Amino acid sequence: MFNSSRRTSRPFTVLVEGNIGSGKTTFLNYFDRHQNVSVLAEPIELWRNCDGHNLLGLMYEDSQKWSFTFQSYVQLTMLQHHCHRSSHPIKLMERSVYSAKYCFVEKMRRDNILSEASAAVIDEHFQWLINNPNTAADLIVYLRTSPEIAYERIIERSRVEEKFISIDYLRELHNIHEEWLFYKNLHYCPAPVIVLNADLDKSSIEEEYQKCHYHIFNDIPISVQG
């Protein structure tokens, strides 16, 4: 049970991070059954319908043209999740303004998809965001998945927009997540990180989830990777 002595003016905030296809939805569904938890899934439906425009689809179809528009909207919608008010003492968020900037914008910059001017605008906005107390985090759960497993899952779920995703793209995005959350030599980690083996199938993954269960619900010191 949640230890109320840890309650502050904001919920204990957990960022659930990982590559595309790493099983974030499965993880969130597992913890959503607890009454003290507010779960905020990635706002994909907003990205699919911004006043009638499927920005997610446009970005995958022509990333050179739409990356700045898409990432600007991602930053806004993720900020809305960070600022979301809830009566629950614990909040689990699927991704964050941090991974949007540190992983996806980083990938676009490396690929020269995002111009330096566009990246500078996103960065200026981001620097303002992270100085806002609403973007504070208490724990990061990194669902560490091999690109090959992630690719299999993407093929299996068959989202229309994801048909353009290649295994090479997933490998490069995986490497960026590794640099940020596993090796911790890229960008700043806003909270302690727990690394889970998310390659496991659904029949055995819940035991892996238990590794972070008590860190979320109790005041137990966190032993973190690195």
Domain assignment of residue 51, given as a range: 9-217
Mean pLDDT, the chain, rounded, equals 89
- Report d(CA 196, CA 205) in Å as an integer: 9
With respect to residue 161, please indicate whether it lies within any of the assigned structural domains.
yes
- Report d(CA 199, CA 143) in Å as an integer: 9
Q: Which is catalytic among the residues 17, 42, 94, 106?
A: 94
pLDDT greater than 80 at residue 2: no
Give pLDDT, residue 93: 97
With respect to residue 2, please indicate whether it lies within any of the assigned structural domains.
no
Mean pLDDT computed over 52-78: 94
With respect to residue 54, please indicate whether it lies within any of the assigned structural domains.
yes
pLDDT greater than 50 at residue 222: no
pLDDT digits (tens, 9 = 90+) for 115-167: 899 999 999 999 999 987 789 999 999 999 999 999 999 999 888 888 889 99
Mean pLDDT computed over 200-209: 88
Residue 108 burial (10 A CB sphere; 0-12, 13-18, 19+): buried
User: Is 94 among the residues known to form the active site?
Assistant: yes
pLDDT greater than 80 at residue 223: no
Contact of 5 with 219, CB cutoff 8 Å: yes
pLDDT category of residue 76 using cuts at 50, 70 and 90: very high
pLDDT digits (tens, 9 = 90+) for 177-194: 999 999 999 898 999 999
The domain tally of the chain equals 1
With respect to residue 4, please indicate whether it lies within any of the assigned structural domains.
no
List the CATH number of the domain containing 51.
3.40.50.300
Give pLDDT, residue 225: 47
